[in-house]
Amino acid sequence: MRSQCFIASFDLGNECYQEVLLPDYFDEVDENTIHLSVFRDCLCMISGEDVSVMKEYGNKESWTKLITISYLRDPSASSYPDIMGICVFEDEQVLLTYQGDTRWEHISYNRKNNTSKFIEFENTPEICVESLISP
């Protein structure tokens, strides 16, 4: 049975809503751990250990799994950690943050050679969320 989870978009020019179609493999993801973000001007969906992007907005077939980070999965845990994307750099590095045991952890993942390293920050970075509402 197909999940009832969906993404709704709002067109400011036409003042109408529409559904953004999810990838076919969406049935495989945990809808309780989904985070939406923007990577390189593309809609990005992070669910569990998978990071996917919609390369052509509105085109369901353009959903592509960017990376899968299976080493974040703790076999004794009942769910995946909350992963949030921070940035995708031109050199194919992806900066991610996730909820560790006691604090937020940060990872730099290299898509070219499938390697990663943990990054230490003195303070927790904040994600700037785009908004049309002025302060």
Every domain of the chain and the residues it spans: 7-119
- 49 falls in which pLDDT band (50, 70, 90)? confident
SS3 string of the chain?
A: CCCCCCEEEEECCCCEEEEECCCHHHHHCCHHHEEEEEECCEEEEEECCEEEEECCCCCHHHEEEEEECHHHCCCCCCCCCCEEEEEECCCCEEEEEEECCCCEEEEEEECCCCEEEEECCCCCCCCCCCCCCCC
User: What pLDDT does 127 receive?
Assistant: 65
Tens-digit pLDDT profile for residues 86-135: 677 777 787 877 777 777 778 888 878 878 788 887 766 666 677 777 66
User: What pLDDT does 92 receive?
Assistant: 73
Residue 3, pLDDT > 60, answer: no
Mean pLDDT of the chain: 76
User: What pLDDT does 61 receive?
Assistant: 93
- 55 falls in which pLDDT band (50, 70, 90)? very high
